[in-house]
Amino acid sequence: MESRMPAIKPASVNSLPLELLSIIFIIANLPLSRHFWLFADFKLVASRVCRYWRTIVDGTSALWTALPVTRGTSPDFVDYYFRRANGAAIEVCINMQSFSLMPGRVSDMRQTVELKDVHTFCDTILPVLSRHDDSIRRLLVKGDSVDDIQHFVRSFTSSGGRRLTQLAMYIPRRWMQHFTHLEPLANNELDLPPILNIKALVLAGIRFLGPTATFASLTSLHLTGLFLPVSWHLLSRALASASMLRKLVMFNINCPDCDGVAPLSLPSLEIFVFGSSGRDYDTRILKVLEFPAVSILTLRVVGGNTMSPFLPLKKVLSHIRCVRLGFRHPMFVTDFLAVARNIETLVLETPETFRTVSALLIGKALELPRLKLVEALCVVEDDVARTLVSAVNVELFAPTSLSFVDTDIFYGRERQHWYLDPTETVLSTRLTIPFVVPCNLVAAWPDVQLERNPLIPSMFV
């Protein structure tokens, strides 16, 4: 009988519908890393497999939405990339780092040699970018020094950037540690002309914009100081000009000159994300900031065991409805939640924090009467999750060991979900394997319906 049955031959992937193959290619082309200077090159590899695949790759504009450019990138490749995008909005990521320079082998000759190299790079790439200026919405620039970044951004905005709405500039901390003796990094301060259409700005490893900076149209600002001293005079001046600012992200911002100054009010701010070592030098800025309308608060503290540096936040905790906590010390969580009693959504980053909060809620030592949702960004034990849901009338979203936990992700709806069905007297559990996708899926695949957690800070709004 078995010998008479026809052999089952595996179907070729090319037999799949064109629409399905396009979706598979889009997912396979997503970057494996959330860092903006690393990109998968699946589309370039797939286009060399066969003529049919090349036709699919060239005809799927959603594959060509993030253009990586390094010092070795050919202008012809940049032009080819824009043609394949077919007018779609593109994120251009400029990486001007000089990988040939190894730490410990840097001389003072770097200033002259590297500046000349950056000018050559700009003269080569900028004419191509200016021809496709209408398609560029996001610009991300990574370099070894402020001078390199400043020169490129100035050159780009002087010849184009009319539709640029999101700008990110980044200097790695490891390069700052080796180049601190050089003048550009000793100042480490950008001086750019106003860019009127910018809605979102990211500065990492850069002290701040110079005196000419104004943020009249800015709605999102992300500052990562990497413990460099930041001038409160320049910072407050720029923030005061941001009358439309809705989201402010601060990590390790050290303002030594902000003691004793008048507080700065940010009445339009709705989302505040603050990261700190828990020490005085990077928490003192909280004493001079006021945000009466904030409803979503994220705190990530890697050190310290007391809430005293964060006491200025008490005046806004009463009307905070969404909180994300990344504390290492359990007692810190206890002190904080004892004040924030009106929160509706609670996101916990670490297993220690989740266990502490779960024990407090289960034992009724902590009363959060308006709490509706608890979300864990760490793997949790099944028995703890069931006990929490049965003891407290909340929903719990938590990843399993099969999922990948990151800070810049979109969560799909098929998450592991413990919930208490109000129509039943017993615990009802629906277990599904959760999936996560990188944060640029929405840009590459606009038809997908995903649930975005507003507490997870992303580079852009």
Q: How far apart are CA 174 and CA 83, in angstroms?
A: 36
pLDDT at position 14: 63
How many percent of the chain have pLDDT more than 90?
Answer: 0
Residue 60, pLDDT > 50, answer: yes
Residues near 409 by Cβ (< 8 Å), separated by ≥ 6? 34, 436, 437, 438, 439, 456
pLDDT at position 12: 64
Which comes out higher in pLDDT, residue 174 or 403?
174
246, 191 contact by CB (below 8 A): no
pLDDT at position 105: 36
| DSSP annotation string for 145-213 | SHHHHHHHHHHHHHH--TT--EEEEE--HHHHHHHTTSHHHHH--B-----TT--EEEEES---B-TT-
What's the predicted TM-score (pTM) here? 0.72
Q: Which amino acid is at 67?
A: L
Q: Which amino acid is at 167?
A: L
| Terminal-residue alpha carbon distance, the chain | 63
Helix, coil or strand: residue 70? strand
Structure tokens at 427: 């615990």
Of the candidates 18, 17, 28, 14, the one whose C-alpha atom is nearest the C-alpha of residue 445 is 28
Which run of H or of E encompasses 142? strand 136-142
Average pLDDT estimate for 110-137: 71
Q: What backbone torsions phi and psi does residue 335 show, to the nearest 5 degrees? A: -65, -40
> On the CB side of 390, how many CA atoms lie within 13 Å of its CA?
11
Residues near 426 by Cβ (< 8 Å), separated by ≥ 6? none
Q: What is the mean pLDDT of the chain?
A: 68
Residues near 233 by Cβ (< 8 Å), separated by ≥ 6? 257
- In residues, how long is the chain? 461
Model confidence pLDDT, tens digit, residues 439-459:
333 333 333 333 333 333 333
Give whole-number Cα distances, 251 to 202, 242, 246, 259, in Å: 11, 19, 17, 19
Which comes out higher in pLDDT, residue 114 or 268?
268
Which comes out higher in pLDDT, residue 279 or 389?
389
pLDDT at position 444: 32
Q: Which amino acid is at 182?
A: L
Model confidence pLDDT, tens digit, residues 388-433:
888 888 888 776 443 333 333 333 333 333 333 222 222 222 222 2
Which run of H or of E encompasses 57? helix 51-59
77, 48 contact by CB (below 8 A): no
How remote is the C-alpha of 296 from its chain's centroid? 16
β-partners of residue 90 are 136
Structure tokens at 128: 């191509």
pLDDT at position 216: 76
Average pLDDT estimate for 252-267: 82
Torsion region of 181: left, alpha or beta (phi above 0 gives left; psi -120 to 50 gives alpha): alpha
Give the residue carrying structure tokens 């390790």: 252
Structure tokens at 251: 């990590």
> On the CB side of 70, how many CA atoms lie within 13 Å of its CA?
9
β-partners of residue 272 are 248, 297
pLDDT at position 379: 74
